[in-house]
């Protein structure tokens, strides 16, 4: 089941950026770090672009329809996850707008940005947990070996959790890693 391994890997890649974002925002709130808007913009860009271009299309176009056709029990969960995909994109758009506002007005814009970051992180951890704890076990149970072969082929055609299928996110991920200070990246403390 390469599909499940790919989903796990993509979740880990996204989670690493989300965890680093939580750390950076916390350090700014606590006065231990000055905002690095290049880093924050790269992180928001990654969490907006990679799910929309790399991760969600495979689920929406291949896994969800296949599972829906094999398990009536999965329909409500898939409906929820599809709605969360839409909601997540809207949330990252709002997060980007809050980041632009924060960058333009400085410290007075931090609280609104931080609130949206926290809201998005809570939302996204819930989403990832639903997929990991409910969707994937349902899929393991309901799908046949032939289904998995078909899904594996589709998922392998669009897989690299750090860079995207065409490598378009390699530089962005590298930038995040190099700008994020330890313990989440290779950058120096600001």
Q: What is the pLDDT of residues 45-103, one digit of tens each?
A: 999 988 888 889 999 999 999 999 999 999 999 999 999 999 999 999 999 999 999 99
What is the reported pLDDT for 160? 58
Residues 6+ apart with CB under 8 A from 115: none
The CATH number that domain 2-179 falls under is 1.20.120.520
Residue 94 burial (10 A CB sphere; 0-12, 13-18, 19+):
middle
pTM to 2 decimal places: 0.89
Q: Where are the domains of the chain?
A: 2-179
How many C-beta neighbours within 10 Å does residue 159 have? 20
- For residue 165, pLDDT over 80 is answered with no
């Amino acid at each position: 089941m390469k599909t499940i391994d790919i989903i796990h890997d993509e979740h880990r890649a996204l989670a690493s950026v989300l965890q680093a974002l939580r750390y950076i925002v916390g350090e700014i709130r606590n006065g231990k770090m000055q905002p690095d808007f290049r880093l924050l913009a790269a992180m928001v860009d990654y969490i907006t672009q990679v799910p929309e271009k790399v991760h969600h299309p495979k689920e929406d176009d291949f896994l969800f329809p296949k599972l829906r056709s094999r398990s009536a029990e999965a329909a409500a969960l898939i409906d929820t996850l599809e709605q969360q995909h839409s909601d997540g994109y809207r949330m990252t758009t709002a997060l980007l707008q809050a980041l632009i506002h924060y960058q333009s007005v400085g410290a007075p814009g931090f609280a609104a940005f931080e609130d949206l970051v926290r809201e998005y992180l809570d939302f996204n951890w819930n989403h990832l947990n639903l997929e990991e704890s409910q969707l994937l076990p349902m899929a393991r149970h309901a799908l046949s070996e032939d289904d998995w072969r078909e899904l594996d082929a589709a998922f392998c055609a669009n897989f690299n959790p750090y860079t995207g299928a065409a490598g378009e996110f390699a530089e962005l991920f590298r930038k995040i890693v190099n700008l994020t200070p330890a313990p989440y990246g290779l950058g120096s403390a600001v």
